């Protein structure tokens, strides 16, 4: 018989807490809170359609106020820059600066996480990744949350001739780089 629901909850809750402690410890060296590291990490993963305060709010499940204050701190520390959208000046796009990218390379994933992963065999690592992915998708679906998946796995991603891509939802051409990033408009093919 498999692990009971309460045990799975206990494992995932404890795993989450260990990850938060690790983020607090690493962030403290740079004067950053875990939420600020989460925002930087999200910005390193998202595409040009998702690098907005609303995208951050939806992905991290934070309030607009928390996101606004977090962005102010990160901008003051020169880890991000804001620029207005070319078509709609009310929309701000948030980009990592070189300093922000460098910081993330130094702290994500944290050293303890890397060390724990190094102790897993390739088979264990692959199996854990598959199980965690499926579990995450089940939680997102159960809670009616957006998947924020990789663009190339989206039902709206259409491969064109000559290896070009297009988003059928937004009716816009995509670069190969776009397809490798997460998007707030993402919908899995099979949902």
62 pLDDT band, cuts 50/70/90, is very high
User: Are residues 76 and 48 part of one domain?
Assistant: yes
The model's pLDDT over 145-154, given as tens digits with 9 standing for 90+, comes to: 889 999 999 9
CATH number of the domain enclosing 2? 1.10.10.10
Residue 125 in domain: no
User: Are residues 92 and 44 part of one domain?
Assistant: yes
Q: What is the pLDDT of residue 87?
A: 86
Quote the domain boundaries for residue 143.
130-191
188 pLDDT band, cuts 50/70/90, is confident
Q: What is the pLDDT of residue 2?
A: 64
User: Are residues 93 and 57 part of one domain?
Assistant: yes
Q: Is the pLDDT of residue 162 over 90?
A: no
Q: What is the pLDDT of residue 113?
A: 92
Mean pLDDT of the chain: 92
User: Are residues 187 and 148 part of one domain?
Assistant: yes
User: Are residues 19 and 81 part of one domain?
Assistant: yes
Domain count, the chain: 2
Residue 1 in domain: yes
The model's pLDDT over 77-136, given as tens digits with 9 standing for 90+, comes to: 999 999 998 888 899 999 999 999 999 999 999 989 999 999 999 999 999 999 999 999
**Nearest Cα to 27, choosing from 79, 96, 63?**
79
> Model-level pTM?
0.88
């Amino acid at each position: 018989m498999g692990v009971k629901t309460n045990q799975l909850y206990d494992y995932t809750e404890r795993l989450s807490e260990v990850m938060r402690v690790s983020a607090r410890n690493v962030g403290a060296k740079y004067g950053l809170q875990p939420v600020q590291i989460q925002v930087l990490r999200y910005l390193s993963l998202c595409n040009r359609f998702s690098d907005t305060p609303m995208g951050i709010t939806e992905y991290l499940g934070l309030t607009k106020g928390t996101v606004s204050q977090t962005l102010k701190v990160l901008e003051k520390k020169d880890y991000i820059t804001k620029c207005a959208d070319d078509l709609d000046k009310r929309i701000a796009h948030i980009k990592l600066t070189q300093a922000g990218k460098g910081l993330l390379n130094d702290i994500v994933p944290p050293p303890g996480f890397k060390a724990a992963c190094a102790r897993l065999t390739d088979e264990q690592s692959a199996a854990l990744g598959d199980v965690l992915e499926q579990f995450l998708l089940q939680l997102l679906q159960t809670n009616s949350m957006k998947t924020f998946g990789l663009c190339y796995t989206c039902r709206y991603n259409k491969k064109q001739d000559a290896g070009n891509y297009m988003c059928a939802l937004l009716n816009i051409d995509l670069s190969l780089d776009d397809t490798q990033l997460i998007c707030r408009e993402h919908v899995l093919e099979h949902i």
